[in-house]
Structure 1
Amino acid sequence: MTARPARLGLYIHWPYCARICPYCDFNVYKAAHAQPEALLDAMLADLALWRDRLGARTIHSVHFGGGTPSLMAPAAIAALLETADRLFGLAPGAEIGLEANPMEHERFAGIASAGVERLSLGVQALDDDSLKRLGRDHDARTGLAALEKAQALFRRVSLDLIYARETQTPESWRRELETALGFGTGHMSLYQLTIEPGTAFERKLKRGALTPPPDDAAADMYALTQEVCASAGLPSYEISNHARSEADQSVHNRLYWEGEDWIGIGPGAHSRVGAFAKDGRAGGAAHRRPELYIEGVKSGDGHERERLDADAEFIERLLMGIRLTEAGLDVERLAALTGLRPDADGLARMRAQELVLARGSTLVLTERGRAFADHVAETLIPDFDA
């Protein structure tokens, strides 16, 4: 099997937030220290550097993440999109997405006029006490009002919620889900809360000031999520993502899960490009601190490079691809790209335990297997030294 040419996505990282959430481990900084003009200039210059490296490539999706990119000036969003189109060319109907805080709802019209057509709205909870515990600066009423406004302005909207929160029960989560589903949103990203290293939540957990639900309650909430969303016409197409139709699915996120190419600009943004070094898949990460990124781009390169060997590329593609609930992991494509296949004994065990099944050359997690996706992926990794 010959590997087909990869599609290209563009990720734009805006690192500034009005308030840093205690569960967040992303590369973020307080907006009070922002250098918006200098950062915009650096990102525009970085796009030109990428064009010099890659040559002619068409961009199929653009995603503004962060941080809080809804804090960006609409003129800055428009400038980045216009420059990306001029240097690379945006594919007809390219997805242009942006992550937004409900508190920026007054900015939504300007964001839409700048060219964004898909808004990911970080409501995170529909319970005021939970929102306070999550460090959010909006209440549930504001979150839902922002959702209604977004649905009136943008062609596609995704609602983001977090479950398995402190004090939350499966019954209260069901009520939140049913309320959210009542708005008819085409896409929902529903994430189980994880306590990440280095976050304020980890520090609270260590000193006994945070008590997440027990594992069995979290597992019940995951199962409940699948059941309620599927019944409402939003089945999962990835472990944490649900859509009414294929048209509602995230094009940009599927680029990641399917192992396509993407370039990242902005502090800490990651890249994976097959043609990056002309002879194999390679990656890189932009300097994390905004000032270092800005200075690095001025000197001709704001990124640290790395080359992925076949083993590393195999693991990355396996971990991402197995998450797709219907599309699954194409083993033949994986072999064509890396020369490697999943561990045969491990695969046999996962099939015997009914955690994964084969559809031709594609491996798909079973409904039960989705709750153990990381375990399945780790079991399928071969012993590279054997």
Structure 2
Amino acid sequence: MGASPNALALYVHWPFCVSKCPYCDFNSHVRDTVDQQAWRDALLADLAHEARLLPGRRLTSIFFGGGTPSLMDPATAAAIIDAAGRHWDIADDLEITLEANPNSVEAARFADLAAAGIDRLSLGLQSFDDDQLRFLGRAHSAAEGQAALAIAQRHFDRVSFDLIYALPGDTEAGWEATLRRALALGTTHLSLYQLTIEPGTRFATDVARGAFEPLDPETSANLFELTAAVTADAGLPAYEISNHAAPGAESRHNLTYWRYGDYAGIGPGAHGRRQGQRTVRHRKPENFLSGLARNGHGIAEEDRLSPAEAADEALVMGLRLAEGIDAAALEARFGTPLVDWDKVDRLAASGHLVRSGARIATTPAGRLLLDHLLGEIAA
């Protein structure tokens, strides 16, 4: 499946957090105070800039990410949703997602966020275990997480939650028990991420000085395979490397990314892709505001993608999906070769890819080696 050429997704980045998690390499910042009105005005101005460059588009999704957008004043979310509806045509099945943390203070905002127009909540539970939550630097307890999930399920039509696995000491038996507990909680979408040690994070420093040792690759691979098997058996198969959903409950916003559709990205550090251009906003909140005041937008980088660059990105994103890619359609779209078909056929024969005509997808064995496969088959 491909994205409609007229479809557009909107990503809104709220950069502020209560604290910085030691594994996080996202653009998040801790500030003593946040001027909610000033940030509302800034985001609306940045949105208006994108809208002027993308007239006549049909908006299919809005995603409030972060940072911690559940710290945003619900009136700000409402104002952005209203403005987006004035700038663009709105799809009948518009999906509006907001990422939230389970802290009790933020959970108290859920009713107001739902009233503002949010219809899908992505909740950062990360673990059901208090010791693991402390290791991950989370500001909530397991009990708070369970309470927040129950509140979310009362207020939002669709709820997803995140868990992090392959932590030091994780076992197959322990992770399977966690998975089955997660699947019993009644949501139709789960984001299940292996812990990765990202450069520049506190965990990277901790590993370098020997404070802890990451889980070994063999056990991590076994946990990944276990995750796919258990979720598929429960009716929430992996539709993307780390995302699992009942049929029809997939994140429509994230599918826009993976199917290489256009999306406008506003707010500090937000990335966007529109009409063959890659955009990146200033990461630091103060620099974003300065750029906005100076230029009428927060863009730090704006680059035209060559056909080869766009094709490579579409290949990388598309093969993350269980549905795979239509390589011939992408080659026609970008006017450049996408894959080396001889290597595709060899990897299909070895059981790492599935090929049906011009459609290519990874097998479970191939998903374990996705980075290697991409390097092999890229034209």
Q: What secondary structure does 1:29 align onto?
A: coil
**Structure 1 equivalent of residue 8 of structure 2:** 8
Deviation at 1:58, TM superposition (A): 1.8
**Percentage identity across paired residues of the two chains:** 46
Within a 5 Å distance, the mapping from 1:165-244 to structure 2 comes to 165-244=167-246
Q: 1:238-268: CA deviations, max 9, x gaps?
A: 111111122x110000000000000000001
Matched, 1:378 2:363: no
Native 8 Å contact 1:65 1:98 kept in 2: yes
Q: How many aligned residue pairs are there?
A: 373
Q: Give the direction of change, closer, same or farther, for the CA distance of 1:329–1:159 in structure 2 (3 Å limit).
A: same
Deviation at 1:107, TM superposition (A): 1.2
Matched, 1:288 2:270: no
Native 8 Å contact 2:64 2:98 kept in 1: yes
Matched, 1:302 2:303: no
**Structure 1 equivalent of residue 85 of structure 2:** 85
Matched, 1:336 2:314: no
Native 8 Å contact 1:27 1:288 kept in 2: yes
Q: 1:336-358: CA deviations, max 9, x gaps?
A: 12222201232133112210011
Deviation at 1:3, TM superposition (A): 9.4
**Structure 2 equivalent of residue 253 of structure 1:** 254
Q: What secondary structure does 1:102 align onto?
A: coil
TM-score scaled by length of structure 2 = 0.95
Distance in 1, Cα, partners of 2:191 & 2:18: 22
Distance in 1, Cα, partners of 2:368 & 2:182: 23
Deviation at 1:6, TM superposition (A): 4.5
Native 8 Å contact 2:97 2:118 kept in 1: yes
**Structure 2 equivalent of residue 360 of structure 1:** 357
Segments of 5+ residues of structure 1 without an aligned counterpart are 275-280
Native 8 Å contact 2:271 2:281 kept in 1: yes
Q: What secondary structure does 1:334 align onto?
A: helix
Native 8 Å contact 1:3 1:336 kept in 2: no
Deviation at 1:23, TM superposition (A): 0.3
Q: CA RMSD in A?
A: 1.4
TM-score scaled by length of structure 1 = 0.94
After TM superposition, the runs of 4+ consecutive aligned structure 1 residues lying more than 4 A away are: none
Distance in 2, Cα, partners of 1:180 & 1:12: 28
**Structure 1 equivalent of residue 47 of structure 2:** 47
Q: Give the direction of change, closer, same or farther, for the CA distance of 1:85–1:4 in structure 2 (3 Å limit).
A: closer
Distance in 2, Cα, partners of 1:242 & 1:141: 24
Q: 1:337-382: CA deviations, max 9, x gaps?
A: 2222201232133112210011232101112111112211121112
Q: 1:103-126: CA deviations, max 9, x gaps?
A: 121111111111000000000011
**Structure 1 equivalent of residue 63 of structure 2:** 63
Higher mean C-alpha deviation, range 46-55 or range 258-267:
46-55
Distance in 1, Cα, partners of 2:31 & 2:250: 31
Native 8 Å contact 2:264 2:274 kept in 1: yes
Higher mean C-alpha deviation, range 70-79 or range 167-176:
167-176
